[in-house]
Amino acid sequence: MRMFPNSPVYEAALGRFMCIFALLLFLASVMLVALFIRQKRYRWLWLALPLLYLSYFMEQCFDMHVTGLIYSDVADRIVDGFASVPDWIWLTVCFASAVVEVLLLRNIHLCEKNRITTMSVKAAVDSLPTGILCYAPGAQTLLVNYVMQDFCRRITGAELEDGQTFNKILNDGSLLTPCKRIFIGSDQVIVLPDGTAWKISEGDVPYEGYAVRRILVSDITEVYCKTHELQHAQEKVAKLGKKLQKVNQEIVALTAEREVLNAKVKIHDELGSNLLAIKRFLVNGGTEKEKAELMETLRSSISFLKNDSSSQTRDEYELLISMAARLGLTISVKGELPQNEPQRAIITAAIHECFTNTLRHAHGNELRIVMTEDEEALTAVFSNNGEQPAGEVAEKGGLKFLRELTEQADGRMTIRSAPAFEIQLELPKEVEDAL
C-alpha cells in the first residue's frame, strides 16, 4: 500500500498535515533537549535526541514528497521508500512520538517544580509576609523581597538601594511624616499612616567568611492593637482602684465613728443605772468588793466618754486597732500587714468586717490575724475567741462585699465554720496587675 493512493486532493491535504505535524514534533524535541541540558539531566537526552532525529527525518521526507523538491538520487530513493510505508504506520509513529514528548515535558515540569533553584528560593522569599533585607559590609544589597521594598517606599518615599543607608534611617528615626517609631520593651516598632505596626529585627548572618547584616520587618498590627487596648484598660482599672481605695478609707472612718457613737450612747444610757447603784451603795452600804466594782465601772465609762472621737490616726490599721481597743477588743497580728495597694485596702476591709462580727455576733474580745506569704501569694487568716456559729455562715452585707473585693483582685476567700470559725484570704502579690 503506497502513501497517498487516493485522489490528489486527499494526497496533498494529508501530506501537508503530516509535514506540519512532523515539524511541530521537531520543534518540541528541540525544546526538550534544551530543557534537559538546562536542568543538567543529561541521562534523559537518550530519549530526547532520538525523537529529535526522527521528527527531523519525517519532516524532511514529508516536505520533499509534497513539494517534489528532491536534491539527489539518494534522496529520491529514500523518499520513494518512505512513501511506500502505509499511512497508518507513520500516523502511529507521529502520535506515539507526541505522547512521549508530552510525558517528557510533564517530567521536566515536575522536576522544575520540586527542585530548589536560585529562582525558586527568590520566589519563595518574595512570597513571604515578612520583609527581608540582607546586605554586605560594603552596603551591597544581596537579598531584598517585595515586602521590604514596599516597606522602604512607605517610610522613606524612595526605593531600597543601599542597605546601610536604610538601616541608618531605621535607627535614627528620620521617617516620613506621619510614620512614627516607638518601642515595646526592647523591640523597635514602626507605625505606618494606615495604622499597621511593623517590628524591626536586626542581626548578623555569617556568609562566605563575612558578617552579612540581616534586617527583618514583621507585621504585628494585631498584637500592637491588643497591647494598646490593654494599656487603656489598665489605666482605667488603675483609676478605679484609686477610687476604690478612697471609698474604702471613707467607709472605715465613717464606720469607726458610728461604732464609737453607738458605744457612747450605750454607755451614756448605762450611766443612769450606774449612778443609781452608787446612790444605793451610799445609802445602804456594801462590801469593799462591790465598791471596787462600782468604781471600776464608773471609771471605764467616764474614760471612754472623755476620749476625743474626732482624733485621726495616721492610717487605716492604726485607726482600726485604736477603735477596737476603745470598744474592748484586742487585735493581735502575727506577721507583717501588707503596705502596698490594693492589698492594704482589702486587708483593712477584712479587719473591719471581722472585728465588727466578733463584737456583734461572737461576743468575743480578741481578733487574731495570721499573715503568711510565699513567692506568689499573700495569705491572711482571721479568727476570734468568741462563740462559734451554730451552722454555715450566710454571706451577706459585709462578707459579700469582702468576697467581691477579693475576687476583683484575682484572689480567693474561704470561710470555715468547723472546727473553729475562720476567714482566709489569698491574694496574689501582683494585685495591681490583676486589678
Class of domain 229-434: alpha beta
Question: Which segments of the chain belong to CATH 3.30.450?
Answer: 120-219
Each residue's pLDDT tens digit, 134-155: 888 776 788 888 888 888 888 8
The answer to whether residue 156 scores a pLDDT higher than 70 is yes
pTM higher than the cut 0.85: no
Considering Cα of 350, then 351, then 356, then 358, what sign does the dihedral take? positive
The answer to whether residue 9 scores a pLDDT higher than 70 is no
DSSP string covering 248-291 = HHHHHHHHHHHHHHHHHHHHHHHHHHHHHHHHHHHHH---HHHH
Q: Which runs of consecutive H residues, i.e. helices, occur in 39-72?
A: 45-67
Each residue's pLDDT tens digit, 332-377: 999 988 888 778 888 888 888 888 888 888 888 899 999 998 888 8
Q: What is the pLDDT of residue 305?
A: 59
Each residue's pLDDT tens digit, 13-54: 777 888 888 888 889 899 988 888 888 888 888 888 888 888
Task: Provide the pairing of β-strand 330-334 with 366-373.
Answer: parallel
The answer to whether residue 301 scores a pLDDT higher than 50 is yes
The enclosing H or E element of 204 equals strand 197-207
Percent of the chain with pLDDT over 90: 6
Considering Cα of 101, then 103, then 106, then 108, what sign does the dihedral take? negative
Question: Which segments of the chain belong to CATH 3.30.565.10?
Answer: 229-434
Class of domain 120-219: alpha beta
Considering Cα of 291, then 295, then 296, then 301, what sign does the dihedral take? positive
Please name the residue that has the C-alpha cell 503568711.
372
Cell of 72: 539527489
Q: Coil, strand, or helix at residue 185?
A: coil
